[in-house]
Homo-oligomer: A and B are copies of this chain.
Amino acid sequence: MGHLTEGNDELLKRVRRIAGQVTAIEKALAAGTDCTTTLHLVAATRGAINGLMDEIIEEHVRAHVAHPDLPAEERAAGAEELIAVIRRYAK
C-alpha cells in the first residue's frame, strides 16, 4: 500500500503547519505562559492532528478501497486495512 506518493503536497502542508503549532507550544511553555492559553494551543494542535488522520484515511479509502479500477483482491485487502485502522484509532 503506497498511495501516499512523494510530493503529497496537501498532507505535507498540513504537517508543516502542525510543526509550527508545536513550536508555538514550546515557546509558550518556555515563556511561562499561563496554563489556559497554553492548553488552548495544545488543543488546537490536537484538532489539527485529528484532521491529518482523517485526511490520510480518506486518501486510503479513495485509492485502496473505493477506486473503480482496483482488482478484487487489492480492494479486499484495502478494506481490511481500513477496518483495522478504524478499530485501532477511532477513539
Q: Footprint of B on A, CB under 8 Å?
A: 1-6, 8, 11-12, 15-16, 18-19, 22-23, 25-26, 28-36, 38-39, 42-43, 45-46, 49-50, 52-54, 56-62, 64-66, 68, 72, 75-76, 78-79, 81-91
A54-B86, A65-B66 known; 15 other A-B pairs, CB under 8 Å? A2-B33, A4-B32, A4-B38, A15-B25, A15-B26, A15-B29, A19-B22, A39-B56, A53-B91, A62-B79, A66-B75, A66-B76, A68-B72, A68-B75, A86-B86
A78 to B1, CA, bound (A): 21
Which B residues are CB-close (under 8 A) to A65? 61, 65-66, 79
